[in-house]
Amino acid sequence: MKNKKITAVYPGSFDPITNGHLDIITRAADMFPNLVVAVTENASKNHMFSVAERVELLKKSTKNLKNVKVISFAGLLADYLKKTDTFVVIRGLRAVSDFEYEFQMALMNRKLYKKIETVFLMPDQAYTFLSSSMVKEIATLGGKTEGLVPAHVSKKLQQHIQQRSKNG
């Protein structure tokens, strides 16, 4: 049952978007009338793609989902949610090991902004092993990423790696 006023936000670095992310996005878009995929710069991660590239890859990956909007933001998620008058956060859980970190983040976000409610979604079983870090490592070592990421993302990964090796 969808409430037309509710917008959910799925934040992350999405470097790059994987089929696991896309699975969560698709299912969250079915649950909520509006879904914002919010790409953030996470200084603690070593990014392969710029924020603009990640936004573009996500937009292309979600172009058939009419109620999905892709944006980028900087700073605290709680501040972004306050500013946009949004309170539902979507987070994916691949394994029990993700739960402790995500639970702590959900509680801290709620401490920063009391209205926040976090909805945890598990990806399809086929993607429980999948992470952006793993995809980048596979691609960097010459492995195939087809089936792990959307086709256009796989192509972009290969182009990026080829460019990096030319610039060496």
Q: CA gyration radius for the chain?
A: 16
Q: Which amino acid, 165?
A: S
Bridge-based pairing of strands 34-40 and 68-73 is parallel
Task: Say if CB 54 and CB 16 are below 8 A apart.
Answer: yes
> Given 21, 54, 136, 156, which residue is catalytic?
21
Q: 49: annotated binding-site residue? A: no
Q: 133: annotated binding-site residue? A: yes
Per the annotation, the verdict on 21 as an active-site residue is: yes
Q: 27: annotated binding-site residue? A: no
Q: 91: annotated binding-site residue? A: yes
Q: 35: annotated binding-site residue? A: no
Q: 127: annotated binding-site residue? A: yes
Q: 47: annotated binding-site residue? A: no
> Given 2, 45, 111, 155, which residue is catalytic?
45
Query: What's the rounded Cα separation, in Å, for the pair 153 and 35?
Result: 21
> Given 27, 59, 69, 94, which residue is catalytic?
94
Task: Say if CB 59 and CB 17 are below 8 A apart.
Answer: no
Q: 129: annotated binding-site residue? A: yes
Residues 6+ apart with CB under 8 A from 151: none
Q: How far is CA 26 from CA 34, 124, 154, in A?
A: 12, 11, 19
Per the annotation, the verdict on 82 as an active-site residue is: no
Q: 65: annotated binding-site residue? A: no
State the binding site. 13-14, 21, 45, 77, 91-94, 102, 127-133
State the binding site for substrate. 13, 45, 77, 91
Which residues are annotated as catalytic?
Answer: 21, 45, 94, 132
State the binding site for ATP. 13-14, 21, 92-94, 102, 127-133
